Amino acid sequence: MLTLVAFIVALGLLIAVHEYGHYRVAVACGVRVLRFSVGFGKTLYSWQPKNQKHGQNTEFVIGAFPLGGYVKMLDEREAPVAAQDRHLAFNTQPLKSRAAIVAAGPAANLLLAILLYSIVNWYGVQEPRAILASPVAGSVAERAGLRGGELVEQAGFEGDALRPVRSFEDLRWLLTRGALDGRNVRLALAGTQASTGRETLLPLSEIDASQADAQLFRKVGILGPWTQPVLGEVVSGRAAERAGLREGDLVLALGATPVVDGQQLRELIRAQVQNGQPLAQPWSIRRAGETLTLAVTPDVQQDGGVAVGRIGAFVGLPPQFVEVRHGPIEGLVSGAVRTWEVSVLTLRMLGRMVIGEASLKNLSGPLTIADYAGKSASLGLTQYLIFLALISVSLGVLNLLPLPVLDGGHLMYYLWEAVTGKGVSDAWMERLQRGGVAVLLVMMSIALFNDVTRLFG
């Protein structure tokens, strides 16, 4: 139920903001707006505000089918317009006004993203400290000399100045961009009582980043922040309970391998499989001040076609947290920067999918969005706002793509008109619209297939 409510609220808000951008600029340009609709199909509720701007008599509508919305304007191409009202029609407006009205929808989504990111920055959020967990065996991080437990104080792309790292989420975002863009990342690590601070380079350009999935981050090797290797909730009937493990047990070693953190313990459990069969191993644990040895045989499950070990228990205590909060100006600037970075990354990924350098499996549709909406809402307001900002950026960027059925396609028509001095002919407009619909349907089909595969495959 939470997933459905979170999804409807997210979709309704983002569509309403997008259409409001079109509506607000249309009214400012003197175009009569006949209907403002959030949703399609049967009208669930409609109203007409009494005090509207002169020349306006807009009907506001909420439709039964929430996947979309529209702003219907007075237009001679759609219905006859009285001579005295011709100056209020969309098609009679100057080119710059028509372009501004079309661009206002995506712009509104991008502005909403800036606002949402800024609100999170001003409100503050608890995020894990940038203390690294043990790297995945054979990963870029391990080859770079990281062992786990290092505190990252500063980071940046190779060739750029290093910037302070406030939290693990800051670091994760930098690594994500580096991996997808093929850029190496420099890390400045804090010193400890036993060693001085140092710098290390993560050669992320070596990674094949055709798919932005969990396997990509396993190649990087930094999956999460450092956590103490203590067991949490134990699931009844699973391997941990069968072996006698309990919530609160501190794991010291698996066989002859000492355990230093929760991430390493998870990796050791995953690897406790040979030829598809589970391997029994002695675990050394500390319970109530006493050291015990228990034989543990994991369950075997498939993860991306690979057989891995699972014990049916939460592994690792929560990481150390720090509150990240920005001042008024800093928070706004940071929100704008994050919106820009996400926009650029989205465009690059779409471009790489078009030329075949990235997998089409990265496309997501409404089922995945609904799933993430529910998960983010269950984690709290700040996570839900971050989710809304991310989807708002995606909606803004996707609508600017030069497909005839999208806002970006109409802007391409206006660019042609600005260059040639005449608009696109009706015949060509119809052909391009059909082609755009076909491309959009293909993209939606792929996204829906990916959704079903992710959620039910």
Q: Is 19 a catalytic residue?
A: yes
According to DSSP, the residues that pair with 294 across neighbouring strands are: 283
Nearest one of 9, 12, 35 to 22, comparing CA atoms: 35
Distances (CA, A) of 327 to 112, 276, 338: 19, 53, 16
Show the 3-state SS of 16-65.
Answer: HHHHHHHHHHHHHCCCCEEEEEEEEEEEEEEECCCCCCCCCCCEEEEEEE
CA separation for the pair 187, 413 (Å, rounded): 46
Q: Which two three-digit tokens encode residue 140?
A: 């870029």
In 10 A of CB 73, how many CB atoms? 23
Q: Are 361 and 368 in contact (CB under 8 A)?
A: no
Q: Which position among 19, 127, 150, 267 bears the catalytic label?
A: 19
The secondary structure of residue 130, as a DSSP letter, is S
At residue 168's C-alpha, the angle toward residues 166 and 174, to 5°, is 85
Residues with Cβ within 8 Å of 426's Cβ and at least 6 positions away in sequence, in order, are none
Which helix (H) or strand (E) segment is 68 a member of?
Answer: strand 59-73
CA separation for the pair 223, 263 (Å, rounded): 8
Nearest one of 78, 97, 103 to 22, comparing CA atoms: 103
Residue 435, CB-side half-sphere exposure with 13 Å CA sphere: 10
Q: Which two three-digit tokens encode residue 216?
A: 């990509």
Give the amino acid at 365.
G
Q: Which two three-digit tokens encode residue 288?
A: 């109530």
- H runs (alpha helix) in 198-282: 214-220, 239-243, 262-270
In 10 A of CB 385, how many CB atoms? 19
Active-site amino acid positions = 19
